[in-house]
Amino acid sequence: MITTEEPEVLSADAADQAIVTARRVRKVYRSGTEVEALRGVDFEVGRGEMVAVVGPSGSGKTTLLNCLSGLERIDGGQILVDGSDMEKLSDNARTGYRARHMGFVFQAFNLLPVLTAVENVEIPLLLLGQRPRPAREQAMAMLETLGLADRAKHRPDMLSGGEQQRVAVARALVHQPAIVWADEPTGNLDTEGTEVVVELLVRLNKEGQTMVLVTHNPAVAGRAQRTVRMRDGRIEAPPPPARSTGPTS
């Protein structure tokens, strides 16, 4: 269910500004001992940009992505997405914001096993309150775009890993979100599958889709416009100044 609480409305020139801005973000996990997963991270993502976050295991990549996308609360600092302070939004408001403006691609695909491919893809549309018929048409169109029209009625266990991840990408994009978060999108794929999914992501970025992806794979990171390297909860190199960028040419 989507709540009606909306974040602040974007200003007229907001489109020219960074879509995501993180300032001095801290995240602490407490489970017996205290672990500071993010130690005052500053980070920006420009509109239409494709940013790869890389770094060794435990460096805080996934935590950063989770915090930026509002999946987790932070313990210090500020995160602005499209000008909205995520930390000031209630859980319901953040949920609604995610539904409208964000898409997610997970390493383990995380498709619902009881639903077919097209039913998985239409979930975000149905959650946004769209009527079933147009939602189904839109989901089918998205699958067609990704070359999966003939697999629409199949359940996830009948699809290959690459196909499952493409369905996951379709689910992330079907409601035309402002930004797509991808956490190790090729982590569970073989070389061929990785190639297909990366090509797909690059193509979508070229069409204007803003993306932030966390990856271990240098080849995947290399296809992004910008790479941010993390270590011990910090970003190693200072981020470049925010700029409005067009699609990668």
For the bound state, the minimum distance from the C-beta of residue 132 to another protein, rounded and expressed in Å, comes to 6
For the bound state, the minimum distance from the C-beta of residue 190 to another protein, rounded and expressed in Å, comes to 14
In the bound state with another protein, the residue whose beta carbon lies nearer, of 123 and 202, is 123
Using alpha carbons, select from 43, 86, 3 the residue that is nearest to residue 230: 43
| Burial classification of residue 178, based on how many CB atoms lie within 10 Å of its CB (0-12 exposed, 13-18 middle, 19 or more buried) | middle
> Which whole-number Å values give the CA distances from 61 to 14, 91, 215, 216, in the listed order?
27, 23, 8, 10
For the bound state, the minimum distance from the C-beta of residue 245 to another protein, rounded and expressed in Å, comes to 27
For the bound state, the minimum distance from the C-beta of residue 167 to another protein, rounded and expressed in Å, comes to 13
Beta bridge partners of 104: 181
In the bound state with another protein, the residue whose beta carbon lies nearer, of 53 and 202, is 53
The residues of the shown chain that bind another protein, judged by CB under 8 A, are: 1-3, 28-31, 62-63, 66, 69, 71-73, 75, 91-92, 95-96, 98-100, 104, 106, 108-110, 112-115, 119, 123-124, 126-128, 132, 171
| Burial classification of residue 194, based on how many CB atoms lie within 10 Å of its CB (0-12 exposed, 13-18 middle, 19 or more buried) | buried
For the bound state, the minimum distance from the C-beta of residue 215 to another protein, rounded and expressed in Å, comes to 16
In the bound state with another protein, the residue whose beta carbon lies nearer, of 113 and 241, is 113
| Cα gap 196→181, rounded to integer Å | 18
Residue type, 201: L
In the bound state with another protein, the residue whose beta carbon lies nearer, of 95 and 227, is 95
In the bound state with another protein, the residue whose beta carbon lies nearer, of 46 and 60, is 60
Using alpha carbons, select from 120, 76, 77, 70 the residue that is nearest to residue 97: 70
